[in-house]
Amino acid sequence: MKRTVIWIAALVVGAILGLLGIVWLDEVMNFVATVYTRLFQLLAVPTIVLAVITTFATFGSNGSGKIFGHTLTYTLLTTFAAAAVGAALYVIVAPGLLPLEALSGATVPEASASGTASYADHLLSVIPNNIVRPFLEGNVLSLLLLAFAVGIGLSKLPESENKAVVVKGLLGLQDLLFLLIRWLIWTLPLGIVAFSAQLSAQVSAGVVADSIGKYVLVVLGGNVIQFFVVLPLFLLAKGLNPVHVLGKMMPAVLMALFTKSSAATLPVTMETAEKRLGIKKNVARFVLPICTTINMNGCAAFILVTSLFVMQQDGTELSLGTILLWLLISVVSAVGNAGVPMGCFFLTLSLMSGIGAPVAVLGIILPIYTIIDMVETAENVWSDSCVSAMVDRDFQ
């Protein structure tokens, strides 16, 4: 709560500073915003790569067999469904453009003209021919491809000392990265002031409120539809009563809403699933820890909707192909989101930094993210509960 108040205060202070119209102050805010943008870009590549590799690398150690196969199948189906609902709502609601003339100092180099390359050329550009180049260029698609391949490869290697050393080394690097991220998050109020000042220097507050309002409507509306419509349909397809399942799992869902942490809620989720819902212990204790790591319905929808919103501000044409491509990216990224502080928000910021999108927009979204995060976490735990219930039904 304290952090939320600080973020909102920073947003207000930045807006006031931008409206003052003081030239030297605007230059200072542009400088600070550029510094934060560069720091975000610095952490973008390792955040994406390490999160995906370490998550997929644990697949082998988490066990195998039919239960894991069913868990992974339901996880991917529900996560794809959540992202698809978000995409459909985005097209229907169509959030408007923010006036971003003031963000020129915070954006990264312009993308090449669209339409000059075929889809085959675009596909070839994703497939790396040099292991270093994707890291240097920040090519998000190539990095995800490499991270996915390395992570799955590690999971398939037989257990050995060499494998353990590699995995421990990657986890150690991730711990170091998390420390740097926590430091950056601690200083974020200064970045919010700068980003907010940039926007308010040349924009109308009414335009910003309208566009951001529609964006929030899409994100929260997608979560509500996934929570009350899509996931219950999955349960009904398995012959389960969604009202009964939700009623029994309500303690875990409510705890997730207020703690904003699926991991912190996990003990309550397991206890509730076993004692109240009656899921077999061997299923609950195997499925739920895996789901807490990879079953991120709310995160996938947030990554997709926010990425589309940010890219749209930079003039990217949101064609069907673009939406479908980012739907796939959002699902893979959400599955690979291995507990980064502020989870989905920072992962989305990393993706946007990697493609040169105007990340200053995320500075305006940040104060609102606290509410979104509460709803997303509750949805994630509800989805975990649904997956465990469906797997339990499969093995009755």
User: pLDDT, tens digit, for every residue of 273-316?
Assistant: 998 999 998 888 888 877 887 888 999 999 999 999 999 988 88
Q: How does pLDDT run across 23-49, given as a tens digit for each residue?
A: 788 888 888 877 877 776 677 667 667
Predicted confidence band of residue 389 (pLDDT cuts 50, 70, 90): very high
Read out DSSP for 184-220?
HHHTHHHHHHHHHHHHHHHS-HHHHHHHHHHHHHHHH
- The CA angle 313-318-319, to the nearest 5 degrees, is 165
Q: Which two tokens stand for residue 53?
A: 């590799």
C-alpha distances out from residue 117 to 109, 112, 189, 361, Å = 19, 10, 41, 28
Extract long-range pairs of 131-138: CB within 8 Å, 24+ residues apart.
135/45, 135/49, 138/41, 138/44, 138/45, 138/353, 138/354, 138/355, 138/356
> Could you tell me the residue ranges of all domains in the chain?
1-107+116-395
| Separation of alpha carbons 293 and 275, rounded Å | 22
Task: Give the CATH fold of the 1-107+116-395 domain.
Answer: Proton glutamate symport protein (1.10.3860)
Q: How far apart are CA 351 and CA 331, in angstroms?
A: 13
CA distance 109 to 106: 10
Helix, strand, coil distribution of the chain in percent, nearest 5? 80, 0, 20
Full-prediction pTM beyond 0.95?
Answer: no
**Neighbouring C-beta atoms of residue 303, cutoff 10 Å:** 29
Q: In this prediction, what percent of the chain has a pLDDT beyond 70?
A: 81
Long-range contacts of 168-171 (CB under 8 A, 24+ apart): 170/50, 170/53, 170/54, 170/57, 171/54
For residue 268, is pLDDT > 60? Answer: yes
> Where is pLDDT greater, at 59 or 72?
72
Specify the pLDDT at position 42: 76
